[in-house]
Amino acid sequence: MLRIAPTFEVLRPETLDEVVNLLDQHGEAARLIAGGTDFVPNLKHGLYAPEVVIDLKGVSALRGIEHRPESLVFGALVGLHEMETDTRVHAVLPSLSRAASLVAGPQQRRMGTLGGNLCLDTRCVYINQTEFWRGALGGCLKKDGDVCHVTVTGKKCVAAASNDTAPVLISLGATVELLSPRGVRHLPVDELYINDGIRNLALGHDEVLTRVFVPRPGPQRRMGFEKLRTRGAIDFPLLNCALAFDLDEAENLSEPVLIFSAVAARPRSISQLPVGRLDAALIAEFGQRAFASVRPLTNINADVDWRREMVPHLVSRAFEAALGRASATPFSLSNAR
Ligand SMILES: Cc1cc2nc3c(=O)[nH]c(=O)nc-3n(C[C@H](O)[C@H](O)[C@H](O)COP(=O)(O)OP(=O)(O)OC[C@H]3O[C@@H](n4cnc5c(N)ncnc54)[C@H](O)[C@@H]3O)c2cc1C
Ligand code: SF4
């Protein structure tokens, strides 16, 4: 079993003021931990070497879901299990609830938080390994090396954004609240991510994500989420996609948004989506648009051509979910051909 070398101090603030003061005091030597379900494995793999770890779990101001007339407001410590099982969240934001329910397995969803999911580090088959494994290859741009084993000639890390709630929150027009010693700022979730796999967050080292604001959707808004993974549970996405659109009484679709992730360092918005009567041909057109834009890389351990072929299937399944017909069978290697 991999162990953590006890080379850092753990601090347990109880208020946001204390968190901000600690971030200010310790600068880049400090790292935040929430549920720890990603942070701890990465620590064990020697990807981080903090001097101070700031444990957020005692900060009660980061908990709770507020149902406001115009929005739902989630504290950063809201658990994935809570998002999956809260019937009011499921009724208003079914795609978010579904994305939370498809993260990892039950243990990680009990521990893991929304804030931790949004701030999840990027993943790559060449980096999420032990120090010994990585050392044998001489490291890479993200850690201890000067080459990218995925692009080989490229000078940019293309490790994949792999968080399941991020594409959904982008598709719903959500914003995050960030707190630092300089005060509070708000950012659309889409702008929280940059195209750099080394660190894909537009978040200063002294900033903490405090809340997520999701606008309450109108009565015609439909939304779906789908995910492809190796097994029917536990696994990170091989691809995921979030869909949202308006549908009127005559079945006309408008205002579509389609976001794909687990491809590059940040989620990708698919452009030039069609509008019109919702039928099989329109769904196929969505699939073709996504297929043209989504080009999986070898940063994830599954055949890239096969993953690309799965793109239109993922889109049709997201439509099924948006129309309230989500399959209870997870989309995985065993049923995706
Ligand atoms: C076996 C396994 C399978 C997994 N499968 C999936 C999956 O399918 N999909 C998926 O999305 N994730 C998956 N995960 C990753 C993880 O469980 C989830 O992403 C979870 O939501 C992370 O939340 P956390 O609270 O545990 O974050 P932590 O591990 O505590 O933190 C993650 C990162 O976020 C930062 N952070 C945490 N909170 C804040 C905050 N409020 N402000 C700023 N930074 C913050 C931390 O510093 C750290 O860098 C998996 C993990 C494991 C171990
Ligand atoms: S994409 Fe390249 S640089 Fe980034 S983690 Fe993977 S191998 Fe390393």
Say which DSSP state 29 is in: G
pLDDT of amino acid 337 = 63
Residues 280 and 308 occupy one common structural domain: yes
Report the atom number in ligand 1 closest to the C-alpha of 38.
Answer: 29
Position 190 in a domain:
yes
Domain around 288: 221-332
Q: Which atom of ligand 2 is nearest to the CA of 151?
A: 2
Q: Residue 171 has what DSSP assignment?
A: H
Contact (CB, 8 A) for 157 and 140:
yes
Under 8 Å between Cβ of 320 and 300: no
Only one residue has tokens 């967050």, namely 201
- Do the strands 252-261 and 276-277 form a parallel or antiparallel pair, or are they unpaired? antiparallel
| Domain match, 211 and 67 both | yes
Test site for ligand 2: of 122, 123, 131, 150, most ligand atoms within 8 A of the Cβ = 150
The confidence score (pLDDT) of residue 241 equals 98
Sign of CA dihedral 109, 213, 237, 297: negative
- From 196, 215, 234, the end of a domain falls on 215
The residue among 283, 280, 299, 300 whose CA lies nearest residue 291 is 283
- Report the predicted TM-score, pTM, of the whole model to 2 decimal places: 0.97
How far apart CA 303 and CA 55 sit, in angstroms, is 38
Domain count across the chain: 2
**Whether residues 76 and 115 fall in one domain:** yes
Whether 291 is covered by a domain: the verdict is yes
Residues 204 and 225 in one domain: no
CB 71 within 8 A of CB 215: yes
Residue that has been written with the tokens 């799965």 in this structure: 310
Q: Please say which residue of 215, 236, 258 terminates a domain.
A: 215
Q: Does residue 155 form part of some domain?
A: no
Ligand 1 pocket member 42 (CB < 6 A): no
Whose CA is closest to 65, among 275, 252, 213?
A: 213
Enumerate the β-bridge partners of residue 32: 54
- Kindly state whether residue 267 falls inside one of the protein's structural domains: yes
CA distance 156 to 146: 10
In whole angstroms, give the CA distance from residue 248 to residue 240.
Answer: 26
pLDDT of residue 2: 86
Same domain? 270 vs 164: no
Tell me how far the alpha carbon of residue 125 lies from the centroid of ligand 2, in angstroms: 8
How far from each other are the two terminal CA atoms of the chain, in whole angstroms? 35
Of 151, 183, 215, which one is at a domain's C-terminal end?
215
Question: Residue 312 maps to which CATH number?
Answer: 3.30.390.50
Residues 207 and 226 in one domain: no
pLDDT at 142: 98
10-residue mean pLDDT profile of the chain (337 residues): values are 87 98 97 98 96 98 98 98 97 98 97 98 97 96 96 94 98 98 98 98 97 98 96 93 98 98 97 98 98 96 96 97 86 78
Ligand 1 close to Cβ of residue 41 (< 6 A) = yes
Q: CA angle, 318 as apex, 195 and 166 as ends, to 5°?
A: 30
Residue 52 lies in a domain: no
**Which residue type occupies 239?**
L
232 and 279 housed in the same domain: yes
